[in-house]
Structure formats: C-alpha cells, structure tokens
Amino acid sequence: MEPALWQKILDLCNRLSNVTYENLTKIIRLESTGSATAARNLDDSDQNDIDTWMGGGTCFSMTWHLYQSLRDMGLNPRLVMGHKRKERNIHCALILPDADPNASSRAEGVAIHLEFLFDPGYLIFDPLPIPLPKPFGAGEALFPLVPNSVRLVRPDMDSMELWTGGALRTDGSISSPMKLRFEYPVAGVSVEEFKQHWSESFYREMMTYPVLNRLDRERGVQYYYQKGNLVTRDANGSRMERIAEPERVEKLSEIFRLSPELVSRALGILSK
C-alpha cells in the first residue's frame, strides 16, 4: 500500500472511531418510517457522511460508510457477514485487499494478496492484517489492542474467526479469556445481499432494548450499555454498574456523546 494512501485509510478509521455504536437512531428511524426498507434507505442516504449522522450507528451503517469511503479512494473492499453458531448474518465487517500488486505471496502457484480486516461494528478501528491458514502461513495472529486483545484465526482459505479477550499483560498472558465472537466466510457478499441482511436486522431481538458501545482510544477505555447496565472496561478489567431509570437520559447522553433528545426519544419508543 502506498504510504499516502495508507495514511488516508488510517485517518478515515480514526474519524470513524469517534462515532458511538448505538441502535437508538435505528429504533427512531424504524418507528418513523414503519418499515425496515424505508428506515434503511434513510440510514443509507444520511449516513454516508459522518457529519450528518443523528448520533452514531450499528455495524451495518458504520461498515457501509467505510465501504463507500474506501470505494471513493479507488479501492475494492469486500463486505463480509459474521455468523454465530446459532445465528447467521447477525454482524458485518469489511475485508480490503492490499492495493500494492507486490504485496502478495504464492500458494500452490496462485498469488494470494495481503488483506486487512476492518470491523468498526465491534469497535476495531485498526486495520488488521489477515493471516494465511496453515501451511501457507501462521494460521492465526494476535493483536494486543487496548482494552480488548484480538485474535484472528484461519481454519482454512474460505473462513476466518474473530476472537477477543482482555488486554495483554507484560508477562504475555491475557487478562480475561479469549472468546469466539464471529465466523466470517471471507469471500464476501454482494451489496444487494448485504442490504437484505441490513433490513432484516431491524427486526432482531436487540432492537427491543438500547445497546450503546463507545471506545475511548486515547485512554484505552470501552463503555458498553445494555438493559440498564453499564460496563466500563480498561486494561485492568471490567466494572459494571446499574443506571437508575431517572438518571438514564442524562448519563447515557454524557457517556456516549449523544444528544439528550435522541436518547429520550428512543427510550420513549421502547417503553410503549
């Protein structure tokens, strides 16, 4: 990757890292339009530009923004869907092949280009080099991000696993065990299929309660809120506290950098 282009990509990721993951905007748009397709189209049209976002976005809107921005740079990213063992297509991310034709290796006579994973919906704002499966590569790679370490595992050429755990200690151990989060078929999906899964996401169970997630990269602190509980995670571990209902609008707007009006409106919709 040319240094100037790579710096543009890093700057894009840094801007995106200031966006809060939140489903409140999504809840409001669904209630306002009455259908997932209309809500998604509104999301699509408004959220191409971070500056016009009402508050933040979920994995679909954040990944779509990143996809559009990289395409505008003349690059060819792939949209990929994430599966859990009992649920399919519940998460999404993006894979970017290195634009440098010299950044490749060969396996069985076929050139394999270096690729990077971008997963803003899981608050991974660093492009992660994707390892090759054995015997062509190490089969896995550990990235000591803070507060959550990330491990990418390649069982074979067609798939990739995302594992996360606690911060990496000075002795090389992880502060909390690694857990398998998602499995990705690396071939990717079409824009049409991606938008179909995006529309389906408006009716998933997570749309029945607020989900907020923000990463303070400078301090290495993650804030996660769900069903009344706030989890604060840093290199030393996690702490959980209950936010009383009368305090929720004020505290959530402050911690997650959202307008009180947006938080209040979404919570009101959920309480109906």
178-193 pLDDT, tens per residue? Answer: 999 999 999 999 999 9
Cα–Cα dist 104/130, whole Å: 12
What Cα–Cα distance (Å) separates residue 246 from each residue in 134, 262, 264, 266? Answer: 54, 16, 11, 15
Residue 33 has which token pair? 């339009």
For the residues 81-97, what does the mean pLDDT come to? Answer: 96
CA 166 – CA 146 distance, rounded (Å) = 8
pLDDT of residue 143: 96
Which two structure tokens, joined as six digits, stand for 101?
């034709």
pLDDT digits (tens, 9 = 90+) for 158-174: 999 999 998 888 887 88
In the three-class reduction of DSSP (H, G, I as helix; E, B as strand; rest coil), residue 68 is classed as helix
Instruction: Measure CA 209 to chain center.
Output: 19
The fraction of the chain above a pLDDT of 70, given in percent, is 90
For residues 53-81, average pLDDT: 89
In this predicted structure, what is the pLDDT of residue 52?
63
Nearest Cα to Cα of residue 53 among 262, 265, 207: 262
Pairing of strands 140-143, 124-129: unpaired
- Provide the terminal-to-terminal Cα distance of the chain, rounded to the nearest Å: 51
Among residues 68, 87, 88, the alpha carbon closest in space to that of 79 is found at 68
> 0.85 cut: is pTM over it?
yes
Mean pLDDT of all residues in 115-135: 95
* 105 has pLDDT over 70: no
Question: Which ranges of the chain would DSSP assign to H, the alpha helix?
Answer: 3-16, 24-33, 36-47, 59-72, 191-201, 248-255, 260-270
137's CB contacts (< 8 A; 6+ apart) are 105, 131, 154
Instruction: Look at the domain 3-270 and name its fold.
Output: Arylamine N-acetyltransferase fold (3.30.2140)
Give residues with Cβ within 8 angstroms of 78, minimum separation 6: 94, 95, 96, 97, 186, 187, 188
Where are the chain's structural domains? Answer: 3-270
What would the pLDDT profile of 217-263 be if each residue is shown by its tens digit?
A: 999 999 999 999 999 999 888 999 999 999 999 999 999 999 999 99
Out of 32-36, 40-44, 54-58, 243-247, the most confident range is 243-247
Question: What pLDDT shows up at residue 48?
Answer: 65
Whether residue 45 has pLDDT greater than 70: no
Neighbouring CB atoms inside 10 A of 62's CB total: 28
Per-residue pLDDT, 265? 97
Q: 272: pLDDT confidence band, cut at 50, 70 and 90?
A: confident
Q: Is the CB of residue 150 less than 8 Å from the CB of residue 138?
A: no
